[in-house]
A = this chain, B = another copy of it.
Amino acid sequence: MNSSASTKERILTAAEALFAQRGFEGASLRQLTAAAGVNLAAVNYHFGSKDNLVEEVFKRRLDQLNARRLAALKQVAGHPETTLDDVLAAFIRPALDLSHDGGGGLFMRVLARAFAEHDDSLRKFLSENYGHVMRQFTTEFARLLPQLSKEELYWRIDLVTGALTHAMSGFGIIQRKSDVSEITHREQTAAHLIRFAAAGLSHP
């Protein structure tokens, strides 16, 4: 279809969509290359193996998402006037933006699949490429919620993570009402998630 894009990019885009729909094992290289309009052998030529392709699909979006989240966090972390909502916005808004621009509408669903997979190698890869972000956010949450024990804080962050991952994996489907502009709809969605997460984190 998109013959202007490079073969590598077309494979990555088709893989992202197919992984979101059928899973990492359910999507075959033959379906994938047919959808991308490239030869079957192109995957092993450009990526070496299917497992490497899976990692590259994650890296392409995750590097961007991590950078945006950390940049947003840096602007509020440590400041005395920073609120819980500010930190949550730094975590949530970049994911929402990724879903609407940059063509990453299906990536959050791929990420949710990866969270559900309890495969060790995939979890290790995610931990190496995602863990430092969660760690920095956790530090800031701990600063803003000093009344919580470490155990209590980890519990709540885990639950919030589950809620947000679940919700964001549905972004591909949820359609805004036609009488609301996209930017308004995105603001409303962000407000929903932020208020829910703040309530779950800071309840007495």
Contact = CB atoms under 8 A, between A and B. Distances in A.
Interface of A: 20-23, 25-26, 109, 112-113, 115-119, 155-156, 158-167, 169-170, 192-193, 195-196, 198-200, 203
Nearest to A156: B196
A117 B20 CA distance: 9
B165 A166 contact: yes
8 contacts: A158-B167, A159-B193, A162-B164, A163-B200, A195-B203, A196-B200, A198-B203, A199-B199
Contact of A162 (B20, B118, B163): B163
The count of identical subunits is 2
Interface of chain A, main secondary structure: helix
A195 B112 CA distance: 25
A148 to B, nearest CB: 12
B23 A155 contact: no
Contacts of A196: 155-156, 159, 200, 203
Given A159-B196, A199-B199, A118 B166 contact: no
A128 B27 CA distance: 26
Given A21-B118, A23-B117, 18 more contacts: A20-B118, A22-B119, A23-B23, A26-B119, A109-B118, A112-B116, A115-B116, A116-B116, A116-B169, A158-B167, A158-B170, A159-B193, A162-B163, A162-B165, A162-B167, A166-B166, A199-B199, A200-B200
